[in-house]
Structure 1
Amino acid sequence: MPTPLESEEHKALRSAVAALGKRHGRTYDREALWSEAAKLGYLGVNLPEEYGGGGGGIAELSIVLEELGAAGCPLLMMVVSPAICGTVIARFGTEDQKRDWLPALADGTRTMAFGITEPDAGSNSHRITTTARRDQDTGDWILTGRKVFISGVDIADATLIVGRTADARTGNLKPCLFIVPRDAEGFTRRQIDMELDAAEKQFELTLDDVRLPADALVGDEDAGLLQLFAGLNPERIMTAAFAIGMGRYALARAVEYARDRTVWKAPIGAHQAIAHPLAQAHIDLELARLMMQKAAYLYDAGDDVGAGEAANMAKYAAGEACVKAVDQAVHTLGGNGLTREFGLASLITAARVSRIAPVSREMILNYVSHQTLGLPKSY
């Protein structure tokens, strides 16, 4: 479903990924799809060519995730591994970190999780209590803290952990990013028992004096916020792509059903009570995609400030559109919408995630109200 705003290359990419998604479908095997997407160059499409990537940007990567979602087989770790972690390392990593990680992230042989959320911090990143201190004798970093709702840690080779270091000048804590290997001593995980039906599991992490070499730090210790948001803006854009793809999948199933299902004289799709909500869902998804494309364009153009605003708006719009599309799809199918045969019921829970994570709709409204509209903060 290309748009007039897309280049011929983007349209070709969208068509090719849609074909890949169609081959795998709703009953896809995550590892098999991940492997094939990597071989075709889709996983690393946003990473630099000199490190094995496609040389594109978040615009291209969002197309990949949206089309896989529209086919019923979204890859959640695309939001995390190439979009967040790959972007941060590509922009701020050392040459050794780039050579070590980027080619492997691009070809799918390694993945990286992302750990920022904490039990007592939530959306308030200023309350992050995971701390990193220097061992003055060895130069090593020592990390202590907890993280929660971290996706795919069991299948990731490492986790990019957001910790805080003390500023020697002010004594304040500032955010920094560290690559923590999965088997690092003192780094443990506990799977969270979720009702969400997803291939990727959620974990609570504990860092108990995890010792890391000096080169585990990504980027400049004094540029933490800039580096952090270099990953968070792509995360919001990719979450929007995830939501739009999911919404399109649900809507397509509902439209197909509404065309065929006949109760009285005409298919149920002929009735405005069915047709109009589906049309509204389509409009909302298309509008959300336009904002997502704007956010991706601004980010890829290097406008971090503009991208921050647009990425938040895109994530908000896509989450709302996704929830409404899934709800209307299930309602259109009636009882069939809750059966495994049609594959929509599990999306009811999954769609809510797009409203909640990685930032709640309320926090986005807070952001827009005081950052865009200039209203005073309430927190």
Structure 2
Amino acid sequence: MTIFPHVFAESEERQELRRQVAKLAAKYGREWFTDKARAGDKTTDLWLEVAKNGYLGINIPEEHGGGGGGIGDIAAVCEELAAQGCPLLLMVVSPAICGTIISRFGTEEQKQRWLPGICDGTGTMAFAITEPDAGTNSHAITTTARRDGDGWVLTGQKIYISGVDEADHVLIVARAEDARTGRLKPCLFVVPTVAPGFEHRDIPMEIVSPEKQFTVFLDDVRLSDDHLVGDEDAGLEQLFAGLNPERIMAASFSTGLARFALGKAAAYAKERAVFGQPIGAHQAIAHPLAQSHIEVELARLMTQKAAALYDAGDDAGAGEAANMAKYAAAEAACDAVDRAVQTHGGNGITQEFGMAGLLVATRAGRIAPVSREMILNYVAMHSLGLPKSY
């Protein structure tokens, strides 16, 4: 049995990475982040500074402009940014999903073309898998890719795609016909956002975030063969090379927000006095916050395990752990923010104290990138060996 000591105690290098990212993000802070979001502005300054310091592409090989680290490193960056109130959703997408897939399966020419821009922040890439009628069932994707001479033609529609307006390219999951069986198989294509036939439409959201969601339309988008990433026959192996990091990053996103909310709640509970003593002295306040701290730390531990397994090349073990981490982190974050709002009382639903907006942000973690119900299905089937229920 392989043992990963750093699952339980992160290396000094990883801890220093966390400290430096937290220090950088603290220069901006939650107020700056929400002001940008409410004004319809972008957090490009923070994004580029993260990149300039080498953190944005820390998981990408050095020869392609990255830091040569692993998913555990980029997850730590994601978490620390969120813990300072500056969650960058596109970190989950551009370096972690797209960067990982291209690093593992792209040609050398594709790596040289797209990875440096992902690392330095000038070539952000979005990721598109979700469809209006497929929902959680990725096997029901209807976006198709058909051969046309020495290239491809993509047709279909995607929904809830993050940051298309900030991306130069979108890594799109389509389905191509297998010449041997006639069945459709998943394939991955890098599509320029300026390609003829590519359109995107903003989806109004309640969440306070500078990163918008879009519906994407593909109307006979023509691509040369070098926009296909990996082997067209590899199918799900290539797709899940990106989806397991996505779950790990989503977990870190959630635990970071939870830590931010708990920090604010604990500070308020020490300062706010009622009946002659701080409200934190009352167990009705102290115990829920303590419980959330325990839940968040447990979720962080599972996230570290998932990252360690993935970086060690254990895709099967990482799949189980990544799903569990994402589930645990989303649940812990929702509870932590709810308790933080309650700790603040009426102040918890004001813009001044900034707690209420986190309710929607953390609640999204129970839905995306995979719903908690589908994770429970996965664990029931693969961990417990129960019959398939869907």
CA contact (8 A) 2:127 2:161 kept: yes
Question: Structure 2: 5+ residue runs without aligned partners?
Answer: 1-5, 37-42
Determine if the alignment matches structure 1 residue 75 to structure 2 residue 79: no
- The one of 174, 182, 199 equivalent to 1:188 is 199
Shift of 1:4: 5.4
Tell me how large the CA RMSD over aligned residues is.
Answer: 1.0
How many Å apart are 1:194 and its aligned residue? Answer: 1.0
Amino acid at match of 2:134: A
Any conservation in 1 of the 2:198–2:221 contact (CA below 8 Å)? yes
Q: Who is 1:58 aligned against?
A: 71
Is 1:23 equivalent to 2:27 in the alignment?
yes
- In structure 1, the partner of 2:39 is none
Tell me, in whole angstroms, the C-alpha distance in 2 between the residues paired with 1:179 and 1:158. 6
Name the aligned partner's letter for residue 169 of structure 1.
R
* Corresponding position of 2:40: none
C-alpha distance in 2, partners of 1:95/1:66?
Answer: 31
Moved over 2 A (4+): none
Assess if the C-alpha contact under 8 Å between 2:7 and 2:304 holds in 1. no
Distance across 2 between alignment mates of 1:345 and 1:211: 44
Equivalent residues in 2 for 1:92-171, closer than 5 Å: 92-135=105-148, 138-171=149-182
Does 6-15 or 21-30 show the bigger shift? 21-30
- Residues 1:8 and 2:21 aligned together: no
Give the total of aligned pairs. 376
SS in 1 for 2:199: strand
User: Structure 1 residue 195: deviation in Å?
Assistant: 1.2
2:25–2:84 CA contact under 8 A, matched in 1: yes
**Separation in 2, partners of 1:243, 1:256:** 20
Aligned residue number for residue 261 of structure 2: 250
2:40 aligned with 1:36, yes or no? no
Show structure 1 runs of 5+ residues with no match.
none
Deviations 1:307-334 (A, max 9, x none): 0000000000000000000000000001
Structure 2: distance between partners of 1:355 and 1:95: 37
3-state SS of paired residue (2:231): coil
Give the whole-Å Cα distance in 1 for the aligned partners of 2:302 and 2:330: 12
Taking the aligned partners of 2:78 and 2:151, their CA distance within structure 1 comes to 37
Counterpart Cα distance in 2 of 1:97 and 1:224: 19
- 2:238 aligned with 1:227: yes
Q: Does the Cα contact within 8 Å between 2:60 and 2:100 map onto a contact in 1?
A: yes
Q: Distance in 1 between matches of 2:204 and 2:14?
A: 39
**CA–CA separation in structure 2 for the residues paired with 1:37 and 1:189:** 27
Q: CA offsets per residue over residues 186-241 of structure 1, 9 Å max, x none?
A: 01111111111111100001101110001110000010210000000000000000
- Per the normalisation by structure 2, the TM-score is 0.95
TM-score (norm 1): 0.98
SS at match of 2:201: strand
State the identity as a percent: 67
Residue 209 (str. 1) matches residue 220 (str. 2): yes
